[in-house]
Amino acid sequence: MDVKNAVIQATKETAKNIRKYAMELVDSDIESALIVANFYGDYLKNNSIGIFSDIDFEEYFAQRLLYITKGKVQNKRFETLHLMTTALTYGGHTRVVERFLNNGLGDGLASLDKLPEKVATAIPRNILKHERIRQQSGIATINSILEIGLHYEYVILHIHPEDIYSTVAAILLAKLDVRVLFYNHSDHTFSFGYSAAEKILEISKYGWIRGTIRRIVHKQTYVGIPIPVFNFNINKNNDRKFVIGVMAGYTRKFLPWGEYSVTTFLNQLFKDGETFSDMNIIICGPTGKERFWQRLDKSARDHVKFLGSIPHADYLKLISSADFYVDSFPVGNGTGFVESVMLGLPSFGLDLSTGYSYADILRSPSVADLIDALRCFRVNNAAVRRNTLEVRQRVINEQSVAVCIERIRSAMKGEPGIPLPPYLQSMNCIEDFWEKNWESNKIIHAPLRMLPNLPMYHIIKLLRCWTDTWPYSTTFLLIKCTLLRLINTLRSILLG
């Protein structure tokens, strides 16, 4: 067995061991079992080893906690609650929830953690806000979710993939006649939550084709990513000296994979001094200090500016003033790319994992084709803009917020599932894209940050689940975990 296959096999074996240990703990120490289960979910989310759900596992936990539903009954006072793990000021996930709430789908928003001020003010004032639901113990957290959810007819899950607390609560809510739906925003990773929902609200081809392995084909219905109709000025910035482009995505989305390297792309792009000498690109997400950016040539670096992560409102202002958009790769953006099209921006990217929007037809099959598309934009700007506006209108027809809400309403009524649209079905989608990408980066994720509240005895037992393979050993993990506990203790002392 070669090194790569050995690491993959070891990672799978470790996941199996962690799963087993979590289930063994349920009857003797349910609080620790929930922490380990959360750890297990995060481990699978970040290590793409071909496991996309674990319905039996989450149902096992819910069955063991069925007793906490005793005496509880549904008391419907409102229609729809959106349940989140954590709302964020950046990224597309929270924007989806905001759009639903701002367009009449939802009476309440619940979050395990505090709502950022910019999120709280972005939704209507009449929306009931249930925040900081997370309690000191897992059981108390699940109970809090139950107490809130029982006042609603429907609960739509927008949870983090590892969130076992919301998952168990949702399963129990369903047993108490609350109707649960799951918005599959992280459809490319492992996630808890599939067994809780009567309908899985799908957003892309990638999530759709994973239905069989997740055992949810009978629950799937297409909804899509809701995209607002932005106003824009088609004649903006005509007198600007430079043509300004924006690239955007979380840092990890830019990590090179084989021939797909953003630094190589930028180096090749700005070698063409004649065509692109007056072009600058602003990159949102990375800071530019990440190791892989060291390969950026000076000629390219002179045309690139890094902003790091910025709030979504600031990001929209930035791309509204830009001349074009280039999506992150090798991992693209389901929301960011189509938003740029809605702003009338000529938009470019790679089609490694498409099928999130009709806008994906604008993507290119290779880095060379991507550069050619940008060259065409510089030479024939007007034609590229006209094509962008035609695609934009089709996106409005297919993915406006109103259309997506109508599809969810259909699921609420219990109508037959809506199939994946043919135009998405025909798009390029490397079926094992995420597994291959993870394998090539050779990074095994160990979510030790989740363990400080776990008794040391259980930490030691848990770390023994870890197979001794590159790059981690049990001893290394134990030392790191101990340091994290000390840091957390000192932080608590300093904060009083």
Say if 188 falls within a structural domain: yes
Say if 153 falls within a structural domain: yes
- Which residues, other chains included, contact 298 with Cβ-Cβ below 8 Å and sequence gap of 6+? none
pLDDT of residue 361: 94
Asked whether residue 218 falls in the same domain as residue 122, the answer is yes
Q: Minimum mean pLDDT among 4-8, 65-69, 97-101: which range?
A: 4-8
Say if 463 falls within a structural domain: yes
**Average pLDDT, integer, range 391-408:** 96
Asked whether residue 107 falls in the same domain as residue 209, the answer is yes
- Which residues, other chains included, contact 413 with Cβ-Cβ below 8 Å and sequence gap of 6+? none
**Quick check: 237 pLDDT over 60?**
no
Confidence of residue 489 (pLDDT cuts 50, 70, 90): confident
Asked whether residue 218 falls in the same domain as residue 99, the answer is yes
- pLDDT by residue (tens digit) across 134-159? 999 999 999 999 999 999 999 999 99
Asked whether residue 335 falls in the same domain as residue 352, the answer is yes
Q: Structurally, how many domains does the chain consist of?
A: 3
Q: Are the C-beta atoms of 329 and 351 separated by less than 8 Å?
A: no
Say if 234 falls within a structural domain: no
Element at 397 (helix H, strand E): helix 381-399
pLDDT of residue 454: 82
Asked whether residue 85 falls in the same domain as residue 186, the answer is yes
Say if 149 falls within a structural domain: yes
pLDDT of residue 470: 47
Share of the chain above pLDDT 90, in %: 69
Q: Are the C-beta atoms of 446 and 42 separated by less than 8 Å?
A: no
- Buried b / exposed e along 406-439 (16+ C-beta atoms within 10 A): ebbebbbeeeebbebeeebeebebeeebbebbbb
User: By residue range, what is the domain housing residue 481?
Assistant: 3-27+443-494
pLDDT of residue 176: 97
Provide the CATH number for the domain around residue 150.
3.40.50.2000
Asked whether residue 264 falls in the same domain as residue 342, the answer is yes
**Average pLDDT, integer, range 61-79:** 94
- Which residues, other chains included, contact 417 with Cβ-Cβ below 8 Å and sequence gap of 6+? 199, 219, 220, 221, 222, 411
Confidence of residue 131 (pLDDT cuts 50, 70, 90): very high
Rounded-to-integer distance, Cα 324 and Cα 265, Å: 16
Could you say which of 399, 433, 467 is where a domain stops?
A: 399
* Residue 197: HSE in the Cβ half-sphere, 13 Å Cα cutoff: 30
Asked whether residue 201 falls in the same domain as residue 309, the answer is no
Asked whether residue 259 falls in the same domain as residue 395, the answer is yes
- pLDDT by residue (tens digit) across 1-52? 565 677 778 888 989 999 999 999 999 999 999 999 999 999 999 999 999 9
- pLDDT by residue (tens digit) across 433-456? 888 888 887 677 877 777 777 888
Asked whether residue 143 falls in the same domain as residue 119, the answer is yes
Could you say which of 376, 391, 425 is where a domain stops?
A: 425
**Quick check: 243 pLDDT over 80?**
yes
Say if 114 falls within a structural domain: yes
**Quick check: 484 pLDDT over 80?**
no
Say if 36 falls within a structural domain: no
Asked whether residue 306 falls in the same domain as residue 205, the answer is no
Say if 437 falls within a structural domain: no
Asked whether residue 420 falls in the same domain as residue 323, the answer is no
pLDDT of residue 238: 60
Q: What is the DSSP string of 210-227?
A: THHHHT-GGGEEE----B
**Quick check: 170 pLDDT over 60?**
yes
Q: Are the C-beta atoms of 91 and 116 separated by less than 8 Å?
A: no
Rounded-to-integer distance, Cα 54 and Cα 350, Å: 31
Distance from CA of residue 204 to its chain's centroid? Answer: 13
Tokens representing 88 are: 């964020």
Rounded-to-integer distance, Cα 164 and Cα 97, Å: 20
Q: Minimum mean pLDDT among 84-98, 162-176, 382-396: which range?
A: 84-98
Q: Are the C-beta atoms of 327 and 248 separated by less than 8 Å?
A: yes
**Average pLDDT, integer, range 333-357:** 90
**Average pLDDT, integer, range 328-347:** 90
Q: What is the pTM of this model?
A: 0.88
Asked whether residue 385 falls in the same domain as residue 408, the answer is no
